[in-house]
Amino acid sequence: MKVQAEDCQDLDRALSLEWLETNGRGGFASGTIAGANTRRYHGLLLVARTPPDERFVLVNHLDEWLDIDGRSIPLSTNLYPGTVHPSGYAFCTSFRSRPWPTWTFEYDSIALQREIFCVSDRDLVIVRWKLLSADSTSAIMRVRPMLSGRDYHWTHHENEMLSPDAVIKEGQVTWRPYPEVPAVQAFHPGTYKHAPNWYRNIQLPVEYRRGFDSQEDWWSPGEIRFEIESGGEQTLALTSGEVETPDRTDIIRREGERRTSIEQRAPTSDFLAKALWLVTDTYLSKRDSRQTIIAGYPWFTDWGRDTCISLPGLCLVTGRHDKAWQIIDVLCGRLSDGLVPNCLSTIPQNSAYNSIDASLWLIHAIERYLVYSHDETRVCDMAWPAIKNILAAYRQGTRYNIHMDTDGLITGGAPDVQLTWMDAKVGEQVLTARQGKPVEIQALWLRALEVGERLGQRFGESAYATRCRREREVALRSFRAKFWNEEGDYLYDVVEGPQGTDASIRPNQLYALSLCADALPHDQAKRMLMVVKRHLLTPVGLRTLSPTDRRYRPRYEGGVSERDSAYHQGTVWPFLLGAFVTAWVNVFGRNPTTQIEARTFLDGLEKHLREACLGQVSEIFDGDAPHDPHGCPAQAWSVAEPLRVLVEDLDITCPSLDSR
């Protein structure tokens, strides 16, 4: 992802383009290519104290100036009420995102490059400056760090509780603004002058548009000065966890080699597949000593449903089988009453279990893991008991009235509790209430029983396999009888709920075709897909509700309650392209003609890679054109599901990263 001078020097455009670096521990660095922070989540050093939870913004920003021959050239940019100062973006002539965010600044004959990256598996950020050319042989860089030390969801304001002290050593300075948050250590190549000051009223326009506090104050402890020679470079390391001076040269070399190795293994036959493949490790993170998947940046951590849906695309098609198993093992160990946590917590008993589908998605993920890894021993010994636990809980009944009804289908729900992925809630009001029998839950249940039958036969439990097969036959007959809308040529979204049958045209019905080969007769399946395509398909994903519905919301905008009200009422979700493409190939056949047509459904994502967070795929888009992006600018399943179908359904070759 490369951005040229025209866009770099257009402030509005440069503020709309974001970059993201992650460290595999729940921490990250992010910002705009203009250099100004527009979100409360933007920052240079953001760490997770108990990965991936307890995130703190420690270093928000650097003010940077290059002093040369009596001239002082700004590199940084800040937004204040009614003004921009400094205006470093005006001198930026290019930006690129690989192998890490890199800016080039030019002023007359002076050219300087700045690089920023997180170091894998460490709470460490490196900033490197290279003076590419200059009138003089050397220049002085002045760098003033801006600190807060706050929870990453909050904003920071001037206060008397902040400690203005610093521990100063040669080439190193440590600050700890507040005793309850981690200290910040800066390892630098020059001298440090302690001169504390407050920088007030930093404007965060994205937060303003989201209806949140959009102004904060930063505390700057002092200034770091160092000489940089023409043709030379200098580095600054910011960390919260190093006890010894890091070897910055070795760190840069190792991190560069790691990223080069990943890039060399990326698929080359399809631009979108390569681009998505290169950012898959963005979402892999540690939880304790095991792997987990971050649902989205900047504000999500790990969610059970999102993890299970994302796992095939992030881990299996890329060959990260060991990481996939660690994730599965963690979720199996967190089962409670047959349910996978909807939201994981460092303290297991604090995890939320309000999900009717996450456990069924886990069964699907386990079966896909077995297909890819052939790891029969671990699945039999550790995952198979978990699958039977889940199936038993759904048969007998578990929390939130989730149970198998007499017709063999799964029903569930409780007032004021959101259980499906359409989970928006304002106060105590569930905005997309789907109590009863949601269509995708039945598809997942049919899939789970199919897996139960297959694995029962594979692991020598023929009686159990027979039970699953018979239960599935009953459920399939009920599904076909109750969900087909003959008048509309599509599937009802929910049946037998408190409000009766919900005939909304929604994308959830796609899972009947993507997960089950026999959910519908072929003619019905084709007709249903045509309805979904006509009402819901957009260039960047599928709408959550037909525009013909009176409840349809064309724009995701306004305050929190307004946005949440639109979240699943027409807003477009790109991850649903996974189910749509798989269903399309399943119904129309795995042949070149079908695959070429199906590939066009993903074309809009290629353009999107160059907007919002560069190289990433956003969480959601407006339902109406031009389909502006919203929500998290980097979302795990928005990357994982398109990549999965490119590999599994469209046959794009994807090399293995298993050793990584």
Nearest to 644 by CA among 267, 265, 97, 100: 267
CA dist 181 and 210 (Å) reads 27
Q: What is the 3-state secondary structure (H, E, C) of 622-636?
A: CCCCCCCEECCCEEH
CA dist 303 and 343 (Å) reads 5
The total number of residues written for the chain in this structure:
660
- Dihedral sign, Cα of residue 311, residue 315, residue 316, residue 318: positive
Report the pLDDT averaged over residues 105-127.
Answer: 96
Q: What architecture does CATH give domain 2-260? A: Distorted Sandwich (2.70)
β-bridge partners, 365: none
Amino acid sitting at position 115: E
pLDDT at position 193:
98
DSSP string, 200-264: EEEE-HHHHHTTS--EEEEEEEEEEEEEEETT-EEEEEEESS-SS---HHHHHHHHHHHHHHHHH
CA dist 431 and 486 (Å) reads 27
Domain with CATH 1.50.10.10 in the chain: 265-648
Q: What share of the chain is helix, strand, coil (3-state, %, to 5)?
A: 35, 30, 35
Confidence of residue 138 (pLDDT cuts 50, 70, 90): confident
Q: How does pLDDT run across 602-650, given as a tens digit for each residue?
A: 999 999 999 999 999 999 999 999 999 999 999 999 999 999 999 999 9
CA dist 480 and 32 (Å) reads 50
Q: How does pLDDT run across 83-111, given as a tens digit for each residue?
A: 999 999 999 999 999 999 999 999 999 99
In 134-214, DSSP assigns E strands to 138-151, 167-169, 172-175, 184-187, 191-203
pLDDT at position 212:
94
Q: How does pLDDT run across 23-67, given as a tens digit for each residue?
A: 999 999 999 999 999 999 999 999 999 999 999 999 999 999 999
Q: Does domain 265-648 have CATH number 1.50.10.10?
A: yes
Report the pLDDT averaged over residues 268-276.
Answer: 93
Whether residue 21 contacts residue 101, with contact meaning beta carbons closer than 8 Å, is answered with yes
Report the pLDDT averaged over residues 433-445.
Answer: 96
Confidence of residue 656 (pLDDT cuts 50, 70, 90): low
Report the pLDDT averaged over residues 252-261.
Answer: 95
**C-beta atoms surrounding 192 within 10 Å:** 22
Amino acid sitting at position 64: E
- Tokens for 637, please give them: 């399943």
* pLDDT over 50 at 659, yes or no: no
* pLDDT over 80 at 320, yes or no: yes
Domain with CATH 2.70.98 in the chain: 2-260
Q: How does pLDDT run across 473-490, given as a tens digit for each residue?
A: 999 999 999 999 999 999
* pLDDT over 70 at 660, yes or no: no
Helix axes 439-458, 462-483, angle to 10 degrees: 160
Question: Do the strands 284-287 and 296-297 form a parallel or antiparallel pair, or are they unpaired?
Answer: unpaired
Rg (CA), the chain: 26
Task: Decide: pTM greater than 0.75.
Answer: yes
